[in-house]
Amino acid sequence: MKVLKFGGTSIGTPSKIKNLTKIININDKNIIVLSAFSGTTNKLLEIINENKKIKYRCLLIEKLYNEYILFINELFTENKEYINKALLIINKSFDIIKKSDIKLSKNILAQGEIISSNILYLYLTSINIKCHIISALDFMKIDENYEPIFDFIKNKINNIINNNIDKYNLFITQGYICKNIDNEIDNLKRGGSDYTASIIGYALNSTEVQIWTDIDGMHNNDPRIIKNTNYIPELSFDSAAELSYFGAKILHPCSVLPAQKKKYQ
Which residues have a Cβ under 8 Å from the Cβ of 230 and sit 6 or more positions away? 219, 220
Residue 13 binds ligand ADP, judged by CB under 6 A: no
- Taking alpha carbons only, the member of 190, 239, 192 closest to residue 217 is 239
CA distances from 39 to 7, 16, 73, 221, 229 (A): 11, 15, 19, 23, 25
Among 9, 13, 51, 210, binds ligand ADP (CB under 6 A): 9
- Closest approach, Cβ 130 to ligand ASP, in A, equals 26
CA distances from 122 to 90, 127, 187 (A): 12, 9, 24
The 3-22 contact track toward Mg ion, x by CB under 5 A, reads ----x---------------
DSSP letter string, 228-263: S--B-S---HHHHHHHHHTT-TTS-TTTHHHHHHHH
Burial (Cβ within 10 Å: 0-12, 13-18, ≥19) of residue 39 = middle
- Closest approach, Cβ 194 to Mg ion, in A, equals 6
Can you tell me the distance from the alpha carbon of 135 to that of 148, in angstroms, rounded to the nearest whole number?
16
* Residue 222 site contact among ligand ADP, Mg ion, ligand ASP, none (CB < 5 to 8 Å, cut-off depends on kind): ligand ADP
Other beta carbons within 10 angstroms of residue 44's beta carbon come to: 22
Residue 35 binds ligand ASP, judged by CB under 6 A: yes
- Closest approach, Cβ 104 to ligand ASP, in A, equals 17
* Residue 14 site contact among ligand ASP, Mg ion, ligand ADP, none (CB < 5 to 8 Å, cut-off depends on kind): none
* Residue 61 site contact among ligand ADP, ligand ASP, Mg ion, none (CB < 5 to 8 Å, cut-off depends on kind): none
Residue 190 binds ligand ASP, judged by CB under 6 A: yes
Q: At what angle do helices 105-126 and 81-97 cross, to 10 degrees?
A: 170
Chain mean position to CA 172: 10
Can you tell me the distance from the alpha carbon of 133 to that of 116, in angstroms, rounded to the nearest whole number?
11
Residue 187 binds ligand ADP, judged by CB under 6 A: no
Stretch of 74-82, 162-170, 179-187, 207-215 contacting ligand ADP, by CB under 6 A: 207-215
Among 98, 135, 156, 223, binds ligand ADP (CB under 6 A): 223
Binding residues for Mg ion, rule: CB under 5 A, are 7, 191
Binding residues for ligand ADP, rule: CB under 6 A, are 7-10, 35, 38, 191, 213-215, 218-219, 222-224, 243, 248-250
Binding residues for ligand ASP, rule: CB under 6 A, are 7-8, 35-36, 41, 112, 175-176, 190-193
